Amino acid sequence: SQTIHQWPATLVQPVGSPLSLECTVEGTSNPNLYWYRQAAGRGLQLLFYSVGIGQISSEVPQNLSASRPQDRQFILSSKKLLLSDSGFYLCAWSRPNEQYFGPGTRLTVT
């Protein structure tokens, strides 16, 4: 069966520091991968998606970037965090039509 992992589970970082969140998927090959953010009290916003190694599409302009160095690995990064980057970050993989989410990373920028 397929499983999706995210780490770390929680992170507290100062403004201006770098960020690296990692997502890995097991049990499937060549998945479509997604990064979402849920800001406090709001719905889920799609940040990036990837249909293959090295292929990244961005849905919103922002302070963040994504990379896919391996088939089942998706990384969310920032060179300098902003206060507004705080939120709950979710990675997902998809079958046709349906997406399945990881456990999420709670990021607090102080």
Partner 1 sequence: DQQVKQNSPSLSVQEGRISILNCDYTNSMFDYFLWYKKYPAEGPTFLISISSIKDKNEDGRFTVFLNKSAKHLSLHIVPSQPGDSAVYFCAASERLKDAGNMLTFGGGTRLMVKP
List residues near partner 1 by CB under 8 A.
Answer: 6, 32, 34, 42-46, 49, 51, 55, 57, 59, 88, 90, 92, 94, 96-104, 106
Taking the complex as a whole, how short is the minimal distance between the CB of residue 37 and partner 1, in angstroms? 11
Taking the complex as a whole, how short is the minimal distance between the CB of residue 73 and partner 1, in angstroms? 17
Q: Which is nearer to partner 1, 81 or 104 (CB)?
A: 104
Taking the complex as a whole, how short is the minimal distance between the CB of residue 16 and partner 1, in angstroms? 26
**Cis ω on the peptide bond leading into residue 103 (within 30° of 0)?**
no
Cα–Cα distance for residue pair 78/3, rounded to 1 Å: 26
- 78 vs 11, 15, 17, CA distance in Å? 14, 11, 8
Q: Which is nearer to partner 1, 14 or 41 (CB)?
A: 41
